[in-house]
Amino acid sequence: MKWRIGSVTVTKIVELESTGGSRFILPQATREAVGGMHWMKPHFMDDEGRLKMSVHALVIETPSRRIVVDTCIGNDKQGRLVPTWNDLRGPFLRDLAAAGFARESIDTVMCTHLHVDHVGWNTMMVDGRWVPTFPNARYLMARAEFEYWQAKRDHDEQEAVFADSVRPVFEAGLVDLVETTHRVCDEVRLLPTVGHTPGHVSVEISSGGEQALITGDFVHHPCQMAWPQWASAADFDPEQSTRTRREVFGRLAGTPTLVIGTHFAGATAGRVVRDGDAFRLEV
């Protein structure tokens, strides 16, 4: 799946997809609560009211850069709270190469935040140790995000994630700690969208008079457009994440900006439109 924004191309590389099983992250989204949201079918919900979600990376090609935004869960990882995310043996790197992106060709990795399903392929297991998957890339991480998780010692899963997927690239000298408004290149810059985590960012693309936004996890699923107050169970600051959703959706509603969801399944991208006092995604 590809999208064109001026001279920029964005390509989706899927690691995992699921239907149902999303209540651990969005407990408010019961089948009864979402049943009337017919605009979510078939891409984001099935006929039984089960939400569809995806774990995928997005590759941004600009005239000068090859950027991977978020690196999914990764193979061979342990200590993950979702049991099926442990010890994966998936074809992600083969799929990436088949799409035309050999891992050696990537020059930038952008982590919207440092949760388990956004940093996993930062590293790969080689001869019993974690090494950078993208050896020719600079790994961009928001300074506030990195410093928060580096200092946190009361979250077992995040300690494991930091140890196997963040610290190895930092110790290899490949990490650039940047501000949440950092400009990556002429066409790509970061947008602070805090609340899900302390240093969470989204990725703005602007080229040839066209715009797109890669969400990260300030929104996990389009149902949160209808109900911005449905904070994720993983949100660091639910009140702030709700304010962020309302502000961003309000700013984008009715504009031609293409919104590309980091966990949106199916069509994955669309435009935000107003729907009464809330919003929906038109694909």
**Residue 249: what pLDDT?**
97
Q: Which two tokens stand for residue 131?
A: 């090494």
Taking residue 47's Cβ as centre, other Cβ atoms within 10 Å add up to 9
Q: What's the confidence (pLDDT) of residue 223?
A: 96
User: Does the structure show a pLDDT above 90 at 274?
Assistant: yes
As a three-state string, the secondary structure of the chain is CEEEECCEEEEEEEEEEEECCCCCCCCCCCHHHHCCCHHHCCCCECCCCCEEEEEEEEEEECCCCEEEECCCCCCCCCCCCCHHHCCCCCCHHHHHHHCCCCHHHCCEEECCCCCHHHHHHHEEEECCEEEECCCCCEEEEEHHHHHHHHHCCCCHHHHHHHHHHHHHHHHCCCEEEECCCCEEECCEEEEECCCCCCCCEEEEEEECCEEEEECCCCCCCCHHHHCCCCCCCCCCCHHHHHHHHHHHHHHHCCCCCEEECCCECCCCEEEEEEECCEEEEEC
212 and 260 in contact (C-beta within 8 Å)?
yes
pLDDT recorded at residue 280: 96
In this prediction the pTM is 0.96
Residue with the bigger pLDDT between 135 and 20: it is 135
pLDDT grade, residue 25 (50/70/90)?
A: very high
pLDDT at 229 over 80: yes
* Strand-strand pairing, 8-19 and 108-110: unpaired
Q: What is the pLDDT of residues 133-183, one digit of tens each?
A: 999 999 999 999 999 999 987 778 889 999 999 999 999 999 999 999 999
Predicted local confidence at residue 66, as pLDDT: 98
Average pLDDT over residues 189-202: 97
Question: Where residue 23 falls among pLDDT bands split at 50, 70, 90?
Answer: confident
Name the token pair of 62: 């600009």
Q: pLDDT digit string (tens) for 34-43?
A: 988 999 999 9
Residue 21 clears pLDDT 80, i.e. is over it: no
- The CA–CA distances, whole Å, from 196 to 66, 162, 217, 231, 237 equal 26, 17, 7, 9, 6
Is the per-residue pLDDT at 32 higher than 80?
Answer: yes
Is pLDDT at 218 greater than 90 in this prediction?
yes
Order of strands across the sheet that contains 52-61: 2-5, 8-19, 52-61, 66-69, 108-110, 138-142, 175-178
Mean pLDDT of 19-47: 91
d(CA 129, CA 132): 10
Tokens 């410093």 -> residue: 147
Percent of the chain whose predicted confidence (pLDDT) is above 90? 94
Average pLDDT for 213-241: 96
For the segment 76-120, what is each residue's pLDDT rounded down to a tens digit?
Answer: 999 999 999 999 999 999 999 999 999 999 999 999 999 999 999
- pLDDT for 46-75, tens place per residue? 999 999 999 999 999 999 999 999 999 999
Cα angle 263-278-72, degrees, rounded to a multiple of 5: 10
**What's the mean pLDDT in 177-199?**
97
CB 76 within 8 A of CB 162: no
What share of the chain in percent tops pLDDT 70?
100
pLDDT averaged over the chain?
Answer: 96
24 pLDDT more than 90: no
